[in-house]
Amino acid sequence: MAPSTGQVTSAPGTTAATTATVPSGPVTTSSQAGLPFTATLVVPGRIGKVNVSWPYVLHVTDTAGKPIKARITAQIVDPLQQPHPVEYDGTTKNIIAWPIKGEFKDDIVWPPDARGFTLTFRIIVNAKGGTATLAVPVTVQ
């Protein structure tokens, strides 16, 4: 399955919040202008398999394409729209206001009780005074 990619692009010197939903397939989605950075999320698709690693990579750059410092929060949003924190690399540490510089890689292992549900994998990126939210609907099989 080809990766899905979501991208939030922005203009320098402004503060804004924006949300992009990543479509299926290897498509790049751009949000409205207004952020002083670009955030790109790469996932293996919109299907997650129970007990199988589902890797993702996040890139955060300035408008010139150089890696920048950011703080990220990763969440799984259930069908009732309740957010749940994502644990880092199988540890008990939640990815909340997690500091990064340019790139972050991790994976999710979907639990058996998620089978049959469509959940939303969401990353909130704070950098340079702006906030971007990238969201990917994932159906767990």
Fold of 4-140: Immunoglobulin-like (2.60.40)
What confidence tens digit (pLDDT) does each residue in 75-105 have?
Answer: 999 999 999 999 999 899 999 999 999 999 9
Task: Supply the DSSP symbol for 9.
Answer: -
Q: Tell me the domain boundaries of the chain.
A: 4-140
pTM > 0.85: yes or no = no
DSSP string, 79-138: TTS-EEEPBGGGSS-B-SSEEEESEEEEEEEB-GGGTT-EEEEEEEEEETTEEEEEEEEE
Question: What's residue 45's pLDDT?
Answer: 87
What confidence tens digit (pLDDT) does each residue in 109-122 have?
Answer: 999 999 999 999 99
